[in-house]
Structure formats: C-alpha cells, structure tokens
C-alpha cells in the first residue's frame, strides 16, 4: 500500500509522517549520491502561495537563487536539502524548491500551531506557525512591492493592512462561515491510520486535500515549465474530524456525518471510476442573532429518490437533525440541501432534470455584513469571513462618503454576485445597478435588496457576462451610460482571481466614471490591470488610495481595495 505525506517540522527536528514519495527520494539519493545536498538557508519572506522564501547563507549574492521552503518562518535559519540540478540552472530569478531538514535557529516569529494534528499535512492554512503580527507584516510588504515593481504611483502611501480585531476564537480561529469537505474512496494515510494488514484500505474518507510533498511540487513545476500545463493530481483525501477555522458546532456535524455515513454504508465518490454516491459535504454557519443559522449541503452523483443510497441519505438527515437537537449544540440547523454534482454527471454521461432538493427546512440561511441581512444558498458566493467582509465593505463606504459628498452617486456594481457589496452601500448611494453572469445569483441579489428594504427602482440587478460576448456588453453598458438617470458616477469592480479582461478595461475608460473602486482577491492581477488604467502621462485614472484587508488569517489570502479617480488630461 502506498502512502503520502509531508514531513512536519518541530523545533530542531523533522518528524516524517510516512511515505512512498520520501522512500523514492531516498532510493534516488542512494543511486545518485550527488542528487541532493544540504545547505544552510536564511528565510526572509513569505510569497503569494504561502511558501517561505530564503537564500543560501554561504552563496555569493550575485549567484544566490531564491529558495522556496514550505512551512518555514521568516527569520528562521535552517538546514535544507536542494537538488543539485536546480543549483546549476542559469535562471537565478525564479525560486527553487528546498526540503526543510532541521531548524538550526528558530525565528522570533515562530509559534506553535494550534492545529498540531494536521498542520504541515493539510493544505488548508499554511501560516499557523507564524506569529499573527508577522503574517500581517508579510502581506503588507507583498502589496507594497507589487505596486512598486509595476511602477504604479499611489497618491497617498498604501495604508496599513487591516487585520482581525480580536485574536481569540472570534478572530484568528473559528472565522470561516463556509467549509467544503470532500468524500473519496482514497485516503491519504498517516501513522495513526496504519493497520497490520497493509492491504486493507478505508472505503470511506471525509476531509480535505493534503498539501503535496516538496518533491512532487518541484516535479509539477518543472513539467509545467516544459509542457506549458500540468493536470496531474491525487484523489486521496486527508481524513479530518475537526478544523480550527470553523465553528465547534460544525466540527460536531462533521464528525457525526462521517460516523453516520460509515454506519449506513453510504458510498464515497471514486475519482477514478466516477462510481459512488457522496462527493462533498458543505457546512455553512451564519452570524445573525444569538442562535446562528446553519446549512448542511450534500453533493451527490444523482438525485434519484428510489435508490438505496438515497434512502440511506434520507435516514442520515433524519438522525442528524434529531441528534443535533439532543446534543444541544450551539446554532440552529435550518437547511439541509442535496445537490447533484455536474462534473460527476459529465463523467458518467448522464443528465439530471432535478439539480437540487431540500431534505430539511428551507433552501437558504441568513447571514449578515455591516448590519445588512442576506439570503445565502448552498452555492452562493459569499465572503467566507463575514467579520472581515464588514471591514472590507466599511472601507468602500467611507471612501464614498469622503470623496462623493456633494451628492449621492449613481453606482454600478460589476461582478455583483448576490449583491452584498452594492446593498451594503445602499444608505450612501442614489441608485445601484448590479451586473452578474449567474442567473441564480441575480435572483438572489434582487431578493436580498428587497429584504433590506430597497425598491427595484433604487437597486436593479441584471444578468450580463462581463468576460465574453463583448458586443452585448458594450451595447448594454454604453446605452445605460447615455441616460443621465443611470449614468455611473462610481463603478465598483470585484472580479474573479483572473482579474479584468482587457476589453472590459478599455470599456471602463470609455464609460469614464468619475471614480472606480477596484476590489480584488488577487493583488497580482489587480496591479496588472491598474497598470493599464493608471500608468503613463496619458493614463485616464490615478490611484488615490490602497487598503489591504486580511480576509483569511493563517493563509496567504488577502483582499485589496484600490480607489481610482479620473484625471482631467
């Protein structure tokens, strides 16, 4: 039986948790004694992928290639293994992978991770071993260097990143309002999972994808560099019974769902044959009121009601609701929804007339941001940290009040999703028009506006694909801009990680609103787009303000708000 893990490093030593991958590395080293060598590295920073970046402490500066060392901490002095082939490459700019062996001198920023069982193996949060103040400092430097490297001028200095206000359970941990767990017939084996019978494999695993080993990531990077793409992945799942990023009531639900699946013999999805029944379990928990609402989602390969597996799932739901009440868990389970997995249908060349079914309660739950309430369905995009989302949206509110005080502006909200940003701006705008590609999200945005007391005249939401069909996009937006009643004073854009399409950037310059607010979950693509809008003497806009917000502590993820004003060239 093959097993995979990565080493988990503790002060002064590395604890290896198993592995065919490491055994193969050892065999390769025995065959090729010079395949790897050990060097001393000093760690200086964290990159956008969450890896630590360091340098060979003894190498000359002009030949010192950056080292990428997963799970190291800025300020560490480490003994690391590197591949000799990487050392002789002529490219001294791209970082090469290094495997942490021992910690020679721990950083003052190094702390013990709260999740001692899974940290270093789970791919969920990479920075639990980094003091939170240093996490914020690294994110701040990353944003500043991106703007500097692109040569994007900012009128005022980039603001200090807004971190969590509480460093307890309400801030640094237990902050996620949504977690998605995967079911699989394959398990990523740890020492605790080993049995005397090496041929016995668990048939049901519920958890998260593990982080790949350093050697695997190195091989993937090199193959992608050669071939332009790399699509290999492993379907083995790390069995998780709790997560410090979700509420304790969701931990209980996760544990009970797993035990009931095993008791009732519910079949996990097989990623190779595409057989099986249950593929994902989604847990959502709201923040409204004392009795927080909870939604449970089961993503399955079919919704056929007469199958044996479906009947077992119905039995699971009945037992789960009863036991949750008996255990007097905090929160209130108001929704249990089953949804068919589109990808599984495609692999099996099947279709489904019914895509979703309510198994208990209703098909939505309530959550809130900045005092506004929102209906959230199973697959709605909603900021995963409601508390930090309030900080993020408050920044936009303050800019509208400060910079557009003469009259309430007409605002367009591009990529509006379920309408959360635009609706939270409601008290400060004359009129809002939101644009979104997903029909269900558009309907939910209209409903959310109504819930918060806005009329259809005050807030409109339209379906529009802002990454394709450019003749339709131009026609709709330019027509709206010709009418003084709908011409935008401010356009808010909150695109996916890929950023804005160049044609949309060109269209923004034609629409020429007085202000643009660019909200981004990926600063790399944000600065790329801002370079087109704000660099050069003839650039139509200037960047007035940049505010980073730490959305997900212990991860490399952050959001940035950039405020643009039209130049009078």
Query: Rg of the Cα trace of the chain?
Result: 25
- Last residue within a domain, chosen from 335, 368, 401: 368
Lookup: tokens for 142: 């990353």
Report whether 247 contacts 285 (CB < 8 A).
yes
Is residue 23 domain-shared with residue 71, that is, in the same domain? yes
Domain of 384?
132-168+379-566
d(CA 436, CA 381): 11
Q: What is the CATH number of the domain that holds 73?
A: 2.40.50.140
Residue holding tokens 């119905």? 314
d(CA 541, CA 213): 44
Is residue 142 domain-shared with residue 66, that is, in the same domain? no
pLDDT in tens, the chain (569 residues): 333 333 334 344 343 333 333 433 444 444 454 588 899 999 999 999 999 999 998 877 656 789 999 999 999 999 999 988 877 765 666 788 999 999 999 999 999 999 988 998 887 889 999 999 999 999 999 999 999 999 999 999 999 999 998 665 568 999 999 999 999 998 887 766 665 555 556 789 999 988 877 777 777 776 655 555 544 556 788 999 999 999 999 999 999 999 999 999 999 999 888 889 999 999 999 987 777 899 999 999 988 766 899 999 999 999 999 999 887 778 899 999 999 988 877 877 777 767 899 999 999 999 999 999 999 999 888 999 999 999 999 999 999 999 998 899 999 999 999 999 999 999 999 999 999 999 999 999 999 999 999 999 999 999 999 988 888 999 999 999 999 999 999 999 999 999 999 999 999 999 999 999 999 999 999 999 999 999 988 999 999 999 999 999 999 999 999 999 999 75
Is residue 361 domain-shared with residue 392, that is, in the same domain? no
Q: How many domains does the chain have?
A: 3
Is residue 362 domain-shared with residue 386, that is, in the same domain? no
Q: Is residue 408 part of a domain?
A: yes
Residue holding tokens 């930090």? 388
d(CA 171, CA 235): 32
Q: Is residue 217 part of a domain?
A: no
Is residue 443 domain-shared with residue 562, that is, in the same domain? yes
Q: With the C-alpha atoms ordered 219, 223, 229, 233, is the resulting torsion angle positive or negative?
A: negative
Q: Where are the alpha helices (DSSP H) in 94-247?
A: 132-150, 214-227
Is residue 412 domain-shared with residue 498, that is, in the same domain? yes
Q: Is residue 199 part of a domain?
A: no
Is residue 432 domain-shared with residue 413, that is, in the same domain? yes
Q: Is residue 531 part of a domain?
A: yes
Report whether 54 contacts 42 (CB < 8 A).
yes
Is residue 541 domain-shared with residue 520, that is, in the same domain? yes
Is residue 338 domain-shared with residue 387, that is, in the same domain? no
Report whether 419 contacts 367 (CB < 8 A).
no
Q: Where are the alpha helices (DSSP H) in 75-131?
A: 84-87
Q: What are phi and psi of 12, to 5 degrees?
A: 90, -10
Q: Is residue 203 part of a domain?
A: no
pLDDT value for 12: 40
Q: Is residue 197 part of a domain?
A: no
d(CA 237, CA 206): 7
Is residue 350 domain-shared with residue 386, that is, in the same domain? no
Q: Is residue 296 part of a domain?
A: yes
pLDDT value for 206: 93
Q: What is the CATH number of the domain that holds 300?
A: 2.40.50
Lookup: tokens for 207: 């958890």
- Last residue within a domain, chosen from 336, 368, 400: 368
Catalytic residue among 122, 250, 517, 521: 521
Per the annotation, the verdict on 521 as an active-site residue is yes
d(CA 245, CA 156): 35
Is residue 97 domain-shared with residue 142, that is, in the same domain? no
Q: Is residue 215 part of a domain?
A: no
Residue 167: name the closest of 133, 130, 116 by CA.
Answer: 133
Is residue 308 domain-shared with residue 347, that is, in the same domain? yes
Through-space distance between the first and last CA atoms of the chain, rounded to whole angstroms: 68
Chain-centroid distance, C-alpha 534: 28
pLDDT value for 537: 87
pLDDT value for 284: 96
Is the pTM for the entire model greater than 0.85? Answer: yes
């Amino acid at each position: 039986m093959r097993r995979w893990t990565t080493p988990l490093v503790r002060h002064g030593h590395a604890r290896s948790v198993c592995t065919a991958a490491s055994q193969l590395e050892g065999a390769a080293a025995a065959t090729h004694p010079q395949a790897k060598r050990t060097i001393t590295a000093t760690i200086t920073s964290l990159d956008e992928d969450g890896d630590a970046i360091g340098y060979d402490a003894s190498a000359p500066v002009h030949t010192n290639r950056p080292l990428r060392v997963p799970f190291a901490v800025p300020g560490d002095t480490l003994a690391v293994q590197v591949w000799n082939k990487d050392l002789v490459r002529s490219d001294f700019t791209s970082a090469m992978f290094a495997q942490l062996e021992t910690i020679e001198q721990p950083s003052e920023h190094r702390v013990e991770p709260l999740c001692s069982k899974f940290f270093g193996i789970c791919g969920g949060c990479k920075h639990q071993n980094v003091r939170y103040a240093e996490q914020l400092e690294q994110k701040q430097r990353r944003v500043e260097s991106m703007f500097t490297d692109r040569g994007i001028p900012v009128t005022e200095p980039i603001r200090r990143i807004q971190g969590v206000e509480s460093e307890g359970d309400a801030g640094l941990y237990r902050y996620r309002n949504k977690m998605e767990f995967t079911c699989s017939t394959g398990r990523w084996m740890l020492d605790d999972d080993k049995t005397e019978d090496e041929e016995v494999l668990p048939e049901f695993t519920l958890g998260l994808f593990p982080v790949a080993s350093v050697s695997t990531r190195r091989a993937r990077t090199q193959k992608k560099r050669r071939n332009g793409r790399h699509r290999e992945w492993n379907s083995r799942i790390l069995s998780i019974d709790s997560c410090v990023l979700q509420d304790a009531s969701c931990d209980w639900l996760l544990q009970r769902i797993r035990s009931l699946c095993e008791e009732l013999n519910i079949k996990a999805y097989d990623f190779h044959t595409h057989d099986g029944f249950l593929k994902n379990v989604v847990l959502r928990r709201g923040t409204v009121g004392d009795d927080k609402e909870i939604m449970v989602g089961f993503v399955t390969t079919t919704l056929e009601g007469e199958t044996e597996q479906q009947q077992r799932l119905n039995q699971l739901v009945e037992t789960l609701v009863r036991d949750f009440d008996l255990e007097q868990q905090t929160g209130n389970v108001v929704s249990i929804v089953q949804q068919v997995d589109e990808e599984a249908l495609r692999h099996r060349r099947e279709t489904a007339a019914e895509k979703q079914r309510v198994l208990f309660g209703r098909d939505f739950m309530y959550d809130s941001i900045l005092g506004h309430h929102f209906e959230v369905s199973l697959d709605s995009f909603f900021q995963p940290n409601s508390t930090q989302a309030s900080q993020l949206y408050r920044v936009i509110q303050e800019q509208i009040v400060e910079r557009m005080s003469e009259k309430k502006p007409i605002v367009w909200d591009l990529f509006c999703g379920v309408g959360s940003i635009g609706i939270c701006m409601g008290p400060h705008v004359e009129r809002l028009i939101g644009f979104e590609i997903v029909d269900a999200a558009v309907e939910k945005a209209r409903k959310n506006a109504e819930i918060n007391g806005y009329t259809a005249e005050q807030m409109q939401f339209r379906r529009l694909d802002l990454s394709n069909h450019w003749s339709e996009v131009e026609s709709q937006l330019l027509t709206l801009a010709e009418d003084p009643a709908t011409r935008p004073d401010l356009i808010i854009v909150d695109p996916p990680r890929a950023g804005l399409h160049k044609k949309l950037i060109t269209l923004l310059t034609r629409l020429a609103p007085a202000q643009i607010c660019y909200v981004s979950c990926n600063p790399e693509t944000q600065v790329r787009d801002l370079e087109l809008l704000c660099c050069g003497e003839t650039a139509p806009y200037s960047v007035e303000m940049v505010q980073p917000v730490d959305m997900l502590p212990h991860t490399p993820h952050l959001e940035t708000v950039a405020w643009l004003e039209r130049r009078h060239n």
